[in-house]
Structure 1
């Protein structure tokens, strides 16, 4: 089996110039925990923003500035300043037997899938592996 067999292709991405408030609202409204961050200039993948990173940043802002200032502070914080820029990425033909090792060894929640130009084609999350496991157990 390959990455293309389990990856989600309906990927919710965000611009590197978006605000933390935009990311927060996008994660809430779309029910996602990972946002691939793309460049506004060429739509290439430049980072990953995780729910964990977003929540820890919001909580730190609340603690430091209080709830009344949270909205303003979130709007002033850019995604590009919070995103992880060191991350593994996949191609759609990568074998799942190798990908699962990335997840296990690095305790990853997701890995973006990119094409040869570095544009996002999909995403593989730990949930995708759980779904695969469930389908294999039914057989």
Structure 2
């Protein structure tokens, strides 16, 4: 049995557009418990960047040190998400084998990989949580 990325990827995604702010992303991660947010071009649906919780925390901590707590929310509202987002990221295709993708997760310690089509349009995300859910399912099937 060869499992593919599309067998476990998350397709119901919360996405940001390029005009979003750090405040927008921070709110979404707080309210929805999401750790990875793709940034997508609204017109084409193409992936342009990825915002990770780690990058957001680093930016917020830096702003807190520079500006203090009183103006943090104002600074977040004025910070473009594109200043926080990672523009250099790896993607996978929905028909890639999971056994190949899991090696990437282990070797690079990434928490997510965007799943795109041939034209770089976002189809979904595969996350470390998706792999944990798969492991739980497989373990339960063994019992």
Q: Are 1:34 and 2:36 matched, yes or no?
A: yes
* Matched positions, count: 139
Q: CA deviation at 1:117?
A: 2.1
Q: Are 1:126 and 2:124 matched, yes or no?
A: no
Give TM-score, length-normalised by structure 2: 0.93
1:110 maps to which residue? 112
CA RMSD of aligned residues (A): 1.0
Q: Are 1:20 and 2:22 matched, yes or no?
A: yes
SS of corresponding position for 1:90: coil
Q: What are the within-5 Å matches in structure 2 for residues 2-21 of structure 1?
A: 2-21=4-23
Tell me, which stretches of 5 or more residues in structure 2 are unaligned? Answer: none
Q: CA deviation at 1:71?
A: 1.1
Q: CA deviation at 1:41?
A: 4.1
2:72 maps to which residue? 70
Judged with a 3 Å threshold, the aligned counterparts in structure 2 of structure 1 residues 108 and 130 are, in CA distance, closer, same or farther, namely: same
1:42 and 1:9 map into 2 onto residues whose CA distance is 17
Structure 1 consecutive aligned stretches of length 4 or more whose deviation exceeds 6 Å? none
2:119 and 2:32 map into 1 onto residues whose CA distance is 26
1:41-65 deviation per Cα after TM superposition (whole angstroms, max 9, x unaligned):
4221011100111011111111211
1:92-136 deviation per Cα after TM superposition (whole angstroms, max 9, x unaligned):
100001000110110010001112221111110001101111111
1:113 and 1:73 map into 2 onto residues whose CA distance is 32
Moved more, 40-49 or 53-62: 40-49
Tell me, which stretches of 5 or more residues in structure 1 are unaligned? Answer: none
Q: CA deviation at 1:82?
A: 1.4
Give TM-score, length-normalised by structure 1: 0.95
